[in-house]
C-alpha cells in the first residue's frame, strides 16, 4: 500500500537524526543543571517578552508549515510500517487544520494574563505586618509524552507562560515532527533573546533517560507524563519528584431514565466518534433500565449505524452486529470506535459501576432531572463531571485555559486539565516597619 511505503532514504535520514540526537545531547545531569539555571533567569523575564516569543513561534509555525508537515509525514510512514493502530496514527498525524490549531493555541496562550506574581490574598496583622500570598513559578518541569506532537507545543508554551523552564521528552514515534517544531521554537527563543536552555528536548527513545530525568529532585521539580498506562506507571514507580498524571481515561456516560433521546444520541456519538483516540473519549455507556425499555434498542441501532462497535449482553438487544461483552471490556480504554454497554437498574447501580471500574478522569450523566445530576456530581470523585455535554470537552482549551499540559487525577496541587495557572506555586511576602516579635 502507498501509505505504508517507505524509501530507504527516509529510513536512513530518520536513523541519522536519532543517532545525532543520541550523541549530541548532553548527559541528563547537565541538562538538569542547565534547566535549573534557566529557570532562575526565566523568572526575571518580562511577561511581554514571553508573550512576544509565543506570538513569534505561532508566526514561524506558519512560515515553516511545509517542513513540519514533511517531518510529520516521515513519522506517520514509520508508524504505519510498524503497524501502529488507527488511534495512534490519529494522535501522531498533523494536517493543515491541526497546524492552524497549533498556531491558534500559541496565540491564545500568548494573550493570557501571566499567572506569576499574582497576589492571591493579603492580610494585615494586629502588629502591622502585611502578609501577601503571591504566585511564583514551580521551577523546572519535565514532560514525557508519546505520539502527539501538539503536546510539545502546548507544554513548551504553558511552561514559558508560567516562567518555568522545561525538559521535554517525546516518544520515538514523534521524533521527526518534534525536532522540526523545536527548531522553529529555538528560532523564536533566539530572536527574542530568551534565556538559554529554557526549553530543552531529550531526543532519544531511551527509557533509561526517562528514569534518570525523573530521579533528579535537585534539578526537576515536577514531572508530567502524557501517554499510555505503561509509561505512566513506569514514571510513577521510578520518580523521586512529584508527578501530575492520570493512568487511563476510563470515561463513562450514564443515560438516566429521564434523559432526552435526541440529546442522548448526539452526545454519545460525539463523545465517542469525534476523536476516539483521546483520553476524553467515552469508553463505557451505562443505560438506565427505564430508558432502555423506551429507547435502548433505537439508541444502540443508531450507534452501530454510525460505525461504532458495540459490546454488550446480546440477549438484551435485537441486533446481530452486537459483540458479546466480557468482563475485561469494563474498565478498558479502547481508544477506538468501540463502546462497552451495560444496562443498569438505577443511578445507584451506575455510580457503583463507575466507582468500581472508573479511573477518576471524566464521567457524564445525561438527564432532564436536576436532582439526579446533583446526586451524580456529589457521589462521584472524578476530576471532571459533566451533565448533558460531550465528554470530549475534557480539555484545557475548552475550559478556557488556552491549552493544557495534561489532565491530572491527583488531589493535591493540580487536578483536571492543567493550564498555565496551575503551573505555579506561591510564597509569602511579609512587609513590616521594623516590626519586632515580643
Q: Rounded distance, CA 286 to CA 367, Å?
A: 13
pLDDT category at 101 given cuts 50, 70, 90 is: very high
Mean pLDDT of the chain: 92
CATH architecture of residue range(s) 2-244+418-428: 3-Layer(aba) Sandwich (3.40)
Whether pLDDT at 203 is above 90: no
Q: CB neighbours (10 Å) of residue 118?
A: 14
Domain segments of the chain: what residues? 2-244+418-428, 251-400
Q: Is residue 87's pLDDT more than 90? A: no
363 close to 385: Cβ distance less than 8 angstroms: yes
Average pLDDT over residues 322-331: 95
Q: Cα–Cα–Cα angle for 98, 205, 232, nearest 5°?
A: 75
pLDDT tens digits along 162-183: 999 999 999 889 999 999 999 9
Given this model, what pLDDT does residue 204 score? 66
CA gyration radius for the chain?
Answer: 24
3-state helix, strand, coil in the chain (%, to 5): 45, 20, 35
pLDDT-based confidence at 13, cuts 50/70/90? very low
- Indicate if the pLDDT at residue 26 is higher than 50: yes
Q: Are 204 and 21 in contact (CB under 8 A)?
A: yes
| SS3 assignment, position 126 | coil
Predicted confidence (pLDDT) at residue 311 exceeds the cutoff of 60: yes
Q: Which fold has domain 251-400?
A: Aldehyde Dehydrogenase; Chain A, domain 2 (3.40.309)
DSSP strand pairing (323-324 vs 309-312) = parallel
Amino acid at each position: 500500500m502507498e501509505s505504508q511505503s517507505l524509501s530507504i532514504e527516509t529510513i536512513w535520514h530518520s536513523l541519522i537524526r536519532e543517532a545525532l540526537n543520541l550523541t549530541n545531547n548532553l548527559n541528563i545531569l547537565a541538562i538538569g543543571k542547565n534547566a535549573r539555571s534557566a529557570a532562575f533567569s526565566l523568572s526575571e523575564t518580562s511577561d511581554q517578552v514571553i508573550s512576544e516569543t509565543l506570538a513569534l513561534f505561532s508566526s514561524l509555525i506558519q512560515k515553516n508549515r511545509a517542513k513540519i508537515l514533511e517531518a510529520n509525514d516521515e513519522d506517520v510512514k514509520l508508524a504505519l510500517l510498524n503497524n501502529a493502530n488507527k488511534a495512534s496514527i490519529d494522535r501522531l498525524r498533523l494536517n493543515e487544520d491541526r497546524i492552524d490549531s497549533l498556531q491558534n493555541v500559541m496565540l491564545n496562550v500568548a494573550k493570557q494574563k501571566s499567572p506569576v506574581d499574582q497576589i492571591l490574598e493579603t492580610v494585615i496583622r494586629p502588629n502591622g505586618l502585611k502578609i501577601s500570598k503571591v504566585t511564583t513559578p514551580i521551577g523546572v518541569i519535565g514532560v514525557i509524552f508519546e505520539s502527539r506532537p501538539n503536546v510539545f507545543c502546548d507544554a513548551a508554551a504553558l511552561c514559558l507562560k508560567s516562567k518555568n523552564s522545561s525538559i521535554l521528552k517525546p516518544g520515538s514515534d514523534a521524533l521527526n515532527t518534534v525536532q522540526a517544531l523545536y527548531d522553529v521554537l529555538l528560532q523564536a527563543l533566539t530572536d527574542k533573546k530568551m534565556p538559554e536552555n529554557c526549553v530543552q528536548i531529550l531526543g532519544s527513545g531511551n527509557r533509561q533517560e526517562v528514569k534518570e530525568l525523573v530521579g533528579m529532585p535537585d534539578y526537576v521539580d515536577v514531572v508530567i507524563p502524557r501517554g499510555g498506562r505503561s509509561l505512566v506507571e513506569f514514571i510513577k514507580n521510578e520518580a523521586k519528584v512529584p508527578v501530575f498524571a492520570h493512568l487511563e481515561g476510563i470515561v463513562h456516560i450514564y443515560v438516566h431514565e429521564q434523559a432526552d433521546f435526541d440529546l442522548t444520541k448526539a452526545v454519545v456519538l460525539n463523545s465517542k466518534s469525534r476523536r476516539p483516540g483521546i483520553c476524553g473519549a467515552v469508553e463505557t455507556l451505562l443505560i438506565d433500565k427505564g430508558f432502555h425499555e423506551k429507547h435502548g434498542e433505537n439508541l444502540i441501532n443508531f450507534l452501530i449505524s454510525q460505525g461504532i462497535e458495540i459490546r454488550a449482553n446480546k440477549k438484551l438487544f435485537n441486533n446481530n452486529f452486537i459483540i458479546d461483552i466480557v468482563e475485561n471490556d469494563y474498565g478498558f480504554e479502547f481508544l477506538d470506535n468501540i463502546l462497552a454497554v451495560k444496562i443498569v437498574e438505577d443511578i445507584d447501580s451506575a455510580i457503583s459501576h463507575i466507582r468500581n471500574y472508573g479511573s477518576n478522569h471524566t464521567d457524564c450523566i445525561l438527564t432532564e432531572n436536576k436532582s439526579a445530576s446533583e446526586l451524580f456530581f456529589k457521589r462521584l470523585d472524578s476530576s471532571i463531571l459533566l451533565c448533558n455535554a460531550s465528554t470530549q470537552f475534557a480539555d484545557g482549551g475548552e475550559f478556557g485555559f488556552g491549552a493544557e499540559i495534561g489532565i491530572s487525577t491527583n488531589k493535591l496541587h493540580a487536578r483536571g486539565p492543567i493550564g498555565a495557572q496551575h503551573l505555579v506555586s506561591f510564597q509569602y511576602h511579609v512587609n513590616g516597619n521594623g516590626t519586632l516579635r515580643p
